[in-house]
Chain A
Amino acid sequence: MTSAGQPRLGLIAASAGVLVAFLAAWEWLPGLMRIPEFILPPASRVWLEFLRVQQTENLWLHTGITALEVIVGFVLGSLMGLVIGCVLGVSPRAELVLSPYLLALQIAPKVAFAPLFVMWLGFTVYPKILVAVLIVFFPVMVNVLTAIRTIDPDLINLARTFSASRWQIFHMIEYPATMSPLFSGLRIASTLAVIGVVVGELVGGNKGLGYLLTYGEGQGNTALVMVSIIMLTLIGIVAYGSVALAERRVLHYLPRAQHTTA
């Protein structure tokens, strides 16, 4: 918490050094090792491709659509996870009834549903969003459910000695207690949402970065594939960063050390 300025600056410099070294290696090693450009284009080639597809391939439109799908899928999936996690958390009976099916659905590889959703919903944004919802739902739900289950029973008893109703116990104790684990779930979910959307786009459609990726692959355009991957990563970083930022604001009451780990 009280890290002095000096070592911190040093760390940042070291981190930047790694990036520079990586970019340099990417730029010159393939040439030195005689790796052909269609296998591993150097960094500058990928940069030029990035500039080119902005003009010719509507890069920003594809990026925007993918980002939109990620946001909608993430929000819907998280809300579902939160609500269902809470319901199962306060009702052990519901959990007992549903848990085998939830477990089965959790074990099933969610991305495998993508072709099915495309068959149902066509080459639209919906199947992509649906895959994201499905994949985001579980980590959020499990974290919320576990949070409610592991609340100190004495806390509940304390509220009960004040004659709290079931609803009061939920909204004053159980629900706020889910916040910290909820955000751990949301961090995972934010990166999973990108995976869900990309898989959906790879399977079918003619919009989004996943489509651009398969398009580049079909043309043997390795640089375009890499541009798409980088853009997807950037979307993931922004999504993750937004969650982390929101977490800092919502969980301001926790001592810092507890929620700074990535």
Chain B
Amino acid sequence: MTAAPARIEYRKVTRRFAPQRKGAEGVTAVIDVDLAIADGEVVSLIGPSGCGKSTLLNMGAGLYLPSDGEVLVDGVKVDRPNPQVAFMLQKDLLLPWRTIRENIELGLQIRGVAPAERRDRALRLMERCHLTGFADHHPHQLSGGMRQRAALARTLAVEPLVLLMDEPFSALDAQTKMVLQADLARSLADERKTALFITHDLVESVALSDRVLVMSHRPGRIIEELVVDLPDRDNPFGRRQHPRVIEYVKALTALLDIGHQELHA
């Protein structure tokens, strides 16, 4: 645990899901998860698929509540979606009938920001996210990478304190992914955002975060924490070059037991 007051904190969080059919057993997705992320910290969460990573994120966003335990943002219990937290998924979730600018404005519009102001904010963000000139395009006219940039801009537009990201770049090709990682890292550092970042990409987790948390198989619990003691958190290109990256990836590989476990297809 960090000494600074946590921006977002999970205390003894357990989440069970009711059985799908009568007679079937319910599923415990995560169990007894304790984690705290300080202001401005970026933490990655890795673990086998189905270990409840996304469940943790959804509870952080207030989409549903823990069965036991609680999630706190700035010391306040999360019991519904709240303006401090925004989330971003692997899917860009852009609305096809809205232009890129209107998509970026979605959160602002829902929160009742005046049209002129949300337009200004959207255009400013588009500039920062390298989307200038695409304001009046529709999502289908953009590449996957550009669409994901727009999704990031939409997430940043509501100026959240905490970003919850569920494999935001995993559907992109390797090069686009690296460019977007760099953009994200810079945005997070410039604005001192706090972020919880789910990924399957071990190098990505090392390149982007201050700490990496490793989860177990379902029911998911946090089994290990790895502090990434490397410079350049705002510059993943630079950090990747660092000779010690490979050590961290090795350590994470060992922790995840990759290569020894059987694949349950």
Question: B63 to A172, Cβ gap below 8 A?
Answer: no
A124 at the interface (CB under 8 A from B): no
A157 at the interface (CB under 8 A from B): yes
- List, in ascending order, chain B residues with CB within 8 A of A168's CB: 110
B95 at the interface (CB under 8 A from A): yes
| CB-CB under 8 A for A163 and B110, given A154-B91, A155-B93, A157-B63 | yes
Question: A176 to B62, Cβ gap below 8 A?
Answer: no
A76 at the interface (CB under 8 A from B): no
- List, in ascending order, chain A residues with CB within 8 A of B63's CB: 157, 160-161
A172 to B97, CA, bound (A): 10
| CB-CB under 8 A for A172 and B106, given A161-B81, A163-B82, A163-B111 | yes
The majority secondary structure among interface residues of chain B is loop
Question: B91 to A255, Cβ gap below 8 A?
Answer: no
Question: B95 to A160, Cβ gap below 8 A?
Answer: no
Which residue from B95, B98, B107, B138 sits with its C-beta under 8 Å from A162?
Answer: B107
CB proximity to A under 8 Å, residues B83-137:
83, 85-87, 89, 91, 93, 95-98, 106-107, 109-111
| CB-CB under 8 A for A160 and B140, given A155-B93, A172-B109, A179-B97 | no
A16 at the interface (CB under 8 A from B): no
Which residue from A155, A160, A162, A255 sits with its C-beta under 8 Å from B158?
Answer: A162
Minimum CB–CB distance for B56 against chain A, Å: 15
- List, in ascending order, chain A residues with CB within 8 A of B140's CB: 253-255
Question: B81 to A160, Cβ gap below 8 A?
Answer: yes
Question: B87 to A176, Cβ gap below 8 A?
Answer: no
- List, in ascending order, chain A residues with CB within 8 A of B83's CB: 163
Question: B110 to A172, Cβ gap below 8 A?
Answer: yes
A179 to B97, CA, bound (A): 9
A255 to B96, CA, bound (A): 10
* Total A residues in contact with B, Cβ cutoff 8 Å: 19
Question: A162 to B93, Cβ gap below 8 A?
Answer: no
Which residue from A154, A164, A254 sits with its C-beta under 8 Å from B93?
Answer: A154
A159 at the interface (CB under 8 A from B): yes
A154 to B87, CA, bound (A): 11
- List, in ascending order, chain A residues with CB within 8 A of B62's CB: 161
A160 to B63, CA, bound (A): 7
| CB-CB under 8 A for A152 and B93, given A160-B81, A161-B86, A161-B87 | yes
A234 at the interface (CB under 8 A from B): no
B46 at the interface (CB under 8 A from A): no
B38 at the interface (CB under 8 A from A): no
- List, in ascending order, chain A residues with CB within 8 A of B109's CB: 172
Minimum CB–CB distance for B194 against chain A, Å: 16
Question: A158 to B93, Cβ gap below 8 A?
Answer: yes
Question: A176 to B95, Cβ gap below 8 A?
Answer: yes
A173 to B110, CA, bound (A): 11
Minimum CB–CB distance for B103 against chain A, Å: 11
Minimum CB–CB distance for A9 against chain B, Å: 29
Closest residue on chain A to residue B63 by CB atoms = A157
- List, in ascending order, chain A residues with CB within 8 A of B89's CB: 154, 158
B61 at the interface (CB under 8 A from A): yes
CB proximity to B under 8 Å, residues A136-163:
152, 154-155, 157-163
Which A residues lie at the B interface, using CB under 8 A?
152, 154-155, 157-164, 168, 172-173, 176, 179, 253-255
Q: State the 8 A-B residue pairs at the shortest beta-carbon distance, nearest first.
A: A162-B107, A162-B110, A253-B138, A164-B110, A161-B81, A255-B140, A161-B61, A176-B97
Which B residues lie at the A interface, using CB under 8 A?
58, 61-63, 80-83, 85-87, 89, 91, 93, 95-98, 106-107, 109-111, 138, 140, 158
12 A–B contacts from the bound complex (CB under 8 Å): A152-B93, A154-B93, A155-B93, A158-B89, A159-B110, A160-B63, A161-B85, A162-B81, A162-B106, A162-B111, A162-B158, A255-B140
